[in-house]
Amino acid sequence: MSILIKNGRVIDPKNNVDAILDILVVNGKIADLNKNLDPKKAKQIIDASKKIVMPGIIDLQLNLREPGNQYKSTLESEMKAANAGGVTSMVCPPDTTPILDEPGLVKMLKNKSEVLKRGNVYPLGALTQKLNGKLLTEINDLYDSGCIGFSQAEKPIQDTEVLYRSFQYLSTFNLKAFLRAEDAYLSEKGIINAGEISTRLGLKGIQSISETTAINKILEIARLTKTKVHLNKISTADGLNLIKIAKKNGIDVTCDVSIHQIFLTDNDIGFFNTNCFLKPPLRKESDRLKIIESIVDGTIDAICSDHSPVNEDNKLKPFAESEHGASSVELLMPMIFKLSEEYKIDLSLLIDKITYQPANILEINKGNLSVNSDADICIFDPSYLWEVNSKTLISEGKNTPFMHQNFIGKVSSTIFNGNIVFIAQ
Amino acid sequence: MFNPQLNEKGNLNHLLSIEGLSKEKILQILDTAESFLKIGERDVKKVPILRGKTVCNVFFENSTRTRTTFEIAAKRLSADVINLNVATSSQSKGETILDTINNLIAMNADIFVVRHSSSGAAHFIASHVKPNIHIINAGDGNHSHPTQGLLDAFTIRKYKTNFNNLKVAIVGDILHSRVARSNIHALNILGVPEIRVIAPKTLLPYEVEKLGVHVFHDIDKGLKDVDVIMMLRVQNERMDGVMLPSQEEYFKTYGLNQSRLNLAKKEAIVMHPGPMNRGVEIDSAVADSEQSVILPQVTFGIAVRMSVMAILAGQYS
């Protein structure tokens, strides 16, 4: 099997490449990357002129909803959606049904996803049993069965002693914690950002102090126990300030933001639009602008889709009773492109945050187009105009705050392991 | 997302919140209520405005007083009235709100009066029913209780005639109060120049001043020279917790007694949406004093609810 991708604008942040080049893929590997490669070398040719050719996207937060929640979506439907979004590697959190706290479940998920041949699935194991925040899981066994790190998903550990001991234990084996910083007490029953909008709508607010107290606690324990920590889906300006200082002080911490926080604020909730019910909640405009600034200055290492398909019935409820989450993996790259265009940010810097930086965070050799590396490639058409609607989205989840909006730019083909797994119709 | 209470012509199709209503619309409701007030004083307390229409009181959250006043209002307009206490029926069997409402629509109800413990429930229902169905929000979570806001405005107008020279104080649990939110919006739209909220920090919502109010923590300062005092009920479950230490301490620091009432203007009126906690937020003597308009509020509430129903149904009759 060999593919030649001709005349694309190749952006490979790791290797500092941004040029019109050809890429030759042979036997699942990148065989050559150069100008004017001979078309006779490949059985299949993809004309990528006027398109962007980049490493396959590594999404640090993608809810596949398996095992257990197949009424929302299936592993196959969401891996197809991921491919349509240019994603070839995905990290999935442990809050499935049952919770990923046993090696057997992790192996099953890994096996099921491998059969589909649509991407690498990197499960996060539950840090505590049933995510109860009390007792540790068999962390080494989970690691051996394929967990790339350990997480509490949306269930922050309340007990500081448990947090401390779990970090000590992870650090013993040089394993990484992937946590969303939220104080369980301060955010209890909270629905949206605490501010004028929550006051107007009469919905319980979540203050930024809920995120900052948790960040402070996590970073202090990480510093003392020398634990590697990745903070997932940071939402506040105050939180980003703390992380910036921690990085300066040499704490081994990285962080990401979800694509929604870059373009939306609590104002978008309007009159109770449940598609804007997200965790963490959409914040203020000043937080949003700080997030964009922190992407550019490097405080934010990566951008994730936080893809969370939700069954339509669970959005057809009063706001606080509906289910949080948005279907977003197919919008990740279009929104990255929009961010680059609207805020004049170097596209290569942004692509770095969804390819090479996530690979670094996961400590895997992926997210680049070096010769001999795995041929995971995303080809993006930056001039394709399309509308987000239930027909254009492949995911089973049709819930998105961007429903019926137009985007410029869409992934046109995705290659995983040297095989074409997605071609736009 | 649009505000679904107005139709494309700008007419009221549902009453979901005070926010988003124009001054003219509110005054129309108050003026219409004025004409209905006399009906309650007649021997035959009925007019045929809603004859042949069905009003369905759907209460997902328990309430006696509000439901009763809506029932009386509908009956005085000659509507057929069905009361559904959903809190104890289908919801507990797992039926969704939308299914409950759709079942009632299939029974050809025209107006739904909805109370629900979740903020936004009325908006949610209104955005999923056909345009010939009207939804009246009778209280949704901490969000809105528009007919209460309207009847309070009606009451103030009865005693004070003008809105544009008033100082109004709202005292108590602003954080959890849909009544306070509705009153703040109504008074601002009607042009009240100074609205004060008086509460400890634990009972104030975030950035409340952005709704157009002045915040006071000291009740004595807050009541100085006001024309209207609106007391709020403090739920018993808020006491003895992290919001308030005890009923006694609350009454001592925020309860309305005669000496505090004396700080307000001489002819100031005292209001309360009911049910009152005597000795917790309000002293009995004040509640029963000449300055208290708490019982007239109830009477006016019926006229205002008649007005809302008549205006909603009128568009399609």
Interface check A203 vs B, CB under 8 A: yes
Residue B16 lies in a domain: no
Q: Do A317 and B3 touch (CB under 8 A)?
A: no
> What residues have CB less than 8 Å from B103, skipping those under 6 apart?
none
Q: Which of A282, A289, A288 is nearest to A268 (CA)?
A: A282
Please name the residue that has the structure tokens 């040719």: A45
Is the link from the previous residue into A156 a cis peptide, with omega within 30 of 0?
no
Claim to verify: residue B150 and residue B290 sit in the same structural domain: yes
Task: Please state the domain count of chain B.
Answer: 2
Claim to verify: residue B31 and residue B125 sit in the same structural domain: yes
Amino acid (one-letter) located at A50: K
Nearest-CA distance A202 → chain B (Å): 4
Q: Do A272 and B142 touch (CB under 8 A)?
A: no
pLDDT band at residue A231 using 50, 70 and 90 as cut-offs? very high
Which range among A81-95, A392-406, B51-65, B147-161 shows the weakest confidence by mean pLDDT?
B51-65
Claim to verify: residue B113 and residue B171 sit in the same structural domain: no
- What residues of chain B lie within 8 A of the CB of A270, using their CB? 1-2
Interface check B145 vs A, CB under 8 A: no
What is the token pair recorded at B115?
A: 């109370």
pLDDT digits (tens, 9 = 90+) for A271-330: 999 999 999 999 999 999 999 999 999 999 999 999 999 999 999 999 999 999 999 999
Angle between helices B23-37 and B146-160 (to 10 degrees): 70
Q: Is A295 helix (H, G, I), strand (E, B) or coil?
A: helix
* pLDDT given at position B90: 58
Amino acid (one-letter) located at A345: I
Claim to verify: residue B30 and residue B45 sit in the same structural domain: yes
A169 Rama sector, left if φ>0, alpha if ψ -120 to 50, beta otherwise: alpha
Claim to verify: residue B167 and residue B71 sit in the same structural domain: no
Common-topology check for domains A2-53+377-423 and A55-362: no
Q: Is the model more confident about B99 or about B317?
A: B99
Using CA atoms, how far apart are residues B292 and B86, in angstroms rounded to an integer?
34
Nearest-CA distance B207 → chain A (Å): 5
Interface check B295 vs A, CB under 8 A: no
Q: Which of B17, B137, B68, B41 is nearest to B275 (CA)?
A: B68
Interface check A318 vs B, CB under 8 A: yes
Beta bridge partner(s), residue B171: B198, B231
Interface check A286 vs B, CB under 8 A: no
Interface check A195 vs B, CB under 8 A: yes
Residue B109 lies in a domain: yes
Interface check B119 vs A, CB under 8 A: yes
What's A2-53+377-423's CATH class? mainly beta
Interface check B60 vs A, CB under 8 A: no
Domain that holds residue B191: 146-297
Partner-chain residue, chosen from B118, B144, B207, that has the shortest CB–CB distance to A195? B207
Q: Is A174 helix (H, G, I), strand (E, B) or coil?
A: coil
Claim to verify: residue B181 and residue B276 sit in the same structural domain: yes
What is the reported pTM?
A: 0.94
* pLDDT given at position B107: 83
Residue B59 lies in a domain: yes
Q: Which of B151, B147, B198 is nearest to B175 (CA)?
A: B198
Using CA atoms, how far apart are residues B222 and A257, in angstroms rounded to an integer?
44
**Average model confidence (pLDDT) for chain A?**
97
Claim to verify: residue B135 and residue B154 sit in the same structural domain: no
Chain A residue closest in CA terms to B121:
A318
Q: Do B116 and A318 touch (CB under 8 A)?
A: yes
Residue B200 lies in a domain: yes
Partner-chain residue, chosen from A202, A313, A319, that has the shortest CB–CB distance to B181? A202
Claim to verify: residue B257 and residue B214 sit in the same structural domain: yes
Q: Do B120 and A271 touch (CB under 8 A)?
A: yes
Chain A residue closest in CA terms to B181:
A200
Give the right CATH number for A55-362 from 3.30.450.20, 3.40.630.30, 3.40.50.300, 3.20.20.140.
Answer: 3.20.20.140
Using CA atoms, how far apart are residues B163 and B193, in angstroms rounded to an integer?
8
What is the token pair recorded at B276?
A: 């009152």
Q: Do B210 and A196 touch (CB under 8 A)?
A: yes
- What residues of chain A lie within 8 A of the CB of B5, using their CB? none
Using CA atoms, how far apart are residues A312 and A321, in angstroms rounded to an integer?
13
Task: Give me the residues of B, 211-270, that contact A with CB < 8 A.
Answer: 211
Amino acid (one-letter) located at A133: G
Partner-chain residue, chosen from A199, A203, A207, that has the shortest CB–CB distance to B211? A199
CA distances from A396 to A71, A310, A331, A388 (A): 9, 8, 14, 14
Q: Do A200 and B178 touch (CB under 8 A)?
A: no
Claim to verify: residue B168 and residue B292 sit in the same structural domain: yes
Using CA atoms, how far apart are residues B312 and B317, in angstroms rounded to an integer?
10
Q: Do A319 and B119 touch (CB under 8 A)?
A: yes
Residue B261, domain CATH: 3.40.50.1370
- What residues of chain B lie within 8 A of the CB of A312, using their CB? none
Claim to verify: residue B110 and residue B204 sit in the same structural domain: no
Q: Do B97 and A317 touch (CB under 8 A)?
A: yes
Residue B193 lies in a domain: yes
Chain B residue closest in CA terms to A321:
B118
**H helices of A129-258, where?**
139-144, 160-172, 196-201, 208-225, 237-248
* pLDDT given at position B89: 61
Residue B13 lies in a domain: no
* pLDDT given at position B116: 94
Chain B residue closest in CA terms to A318:
B121
Claim to verify: residue B154 and residue B84 sit in the same structural domain: no
Amino acid (one-letter) located at B309: M
Q: Do A272 and B120 touch (CB under 8 A)?
A: yes
Nearest-CA distance A279 → chain B (Å): 18
Amino acid (one-letter) located at B226: V
Percent above pLDDT 90 for chain A: 96
Question: B8-12 long-range CB contacts below 8 Å, 24 or more apart?
Answer: B11/B315, B12/B311, B12/B312, B12/B315
Q: Which of B117, B121, B156, B149 is nearest to B273 (CA)?
A: B149
Per-residue pLDDT at B1 exceeds 60: no
> What residues have CB less than 8 Å from B162, skipping those under 6 apart?
none
Interface check A271 vs B, CB under 8 A: yes
Interface check B61 vs A, CB under 8 A: no
Handedness of CA A251, A252, A253, A254 (dihedral sign): positive
Q: Do B121 and A318 touch (CB under 8 A)?
A: yes
Per-residue pLDDT at A158 exceeds 60: yes
pLDDT band at residue A65 using 50, 70 and 90 as cut-offs? confident
- What residues of chain A lie within 8 A of the CB of B19, using their CB? 200
Per-residue pLDDT at A416 exceeds 90: yes
Q: Do A202 and B178 touch (CB under 8 A)?
A: yes
Q: Which of A351, A382, A345 is nearest to A368 (CA)?
A: A351
- What residues of chain B lie within 8 A of the CB of A321, using their CB? 118
Which range among A55-69, A403-417, B287-301 shows the weakest confidence by mean pLDDT?
A55-69
Average pLDDT over residues B84-109: 79
pLDDT digits (tens, 9 = 90+) for A123-150: 999 999 999 999 999 999 999 999 999 9
Q: Do B1 and A318 touch (CB under 8 A)?
A: no
Interface check B142 vs A, CB under 8 A: yes
Using CA atoms, how far apart are residues B303 and B315, in angstroms rounded to an integer?
19
* pLDDT given at position B161: 85
Q: Is the model more confident about A284 or about B316?
A: A284
Interface check B120 vs A, CB under 8 A: yes
pLDDT band at residue A82 using 50, 70 and 90 as cut-offs? very high
Nearest-CA distance A396 → chain B (Å): 22
Angle between helices A285-297 and A332-343 (to 10 degrees): 90
Claim to verify: residue B103 and residue B151 sit in the same structural domain: no
CA distances from A363 to A29, A295, A321, A406, B162 (A): 19, 20, 38, 36, 70
Q: CB–CB of B285/B101 below 8 Å?
A: no
Q: Do A200 and B211 touch (CB under 8 A)?
A: yes
Nearest-CA distance A182 → chain B (Å): 19
Residues of A annotated as catalytic are 306
Chain A residue closest in CA terms to B140:
A202
* pLDDT given at position B317: 35
Residue B17 lies in a domain: no
**Average model confidence (pLDDT) for chain B?**
93
Domain ranges of chain A: 2-53+377-423, 55-362
> What residues have CB less than 8 Å from B54, skipping those under 6 apart?
B79, B80, B81, B82, B107, B108, B109, B110, B111
pLDDT digits (tens, 9 = 90+) for A256-268: 999 999 999 999 9
Partner-chain residue, chosen from A195, A313, A318, that has the shortest CB–CB distance to B124? A318
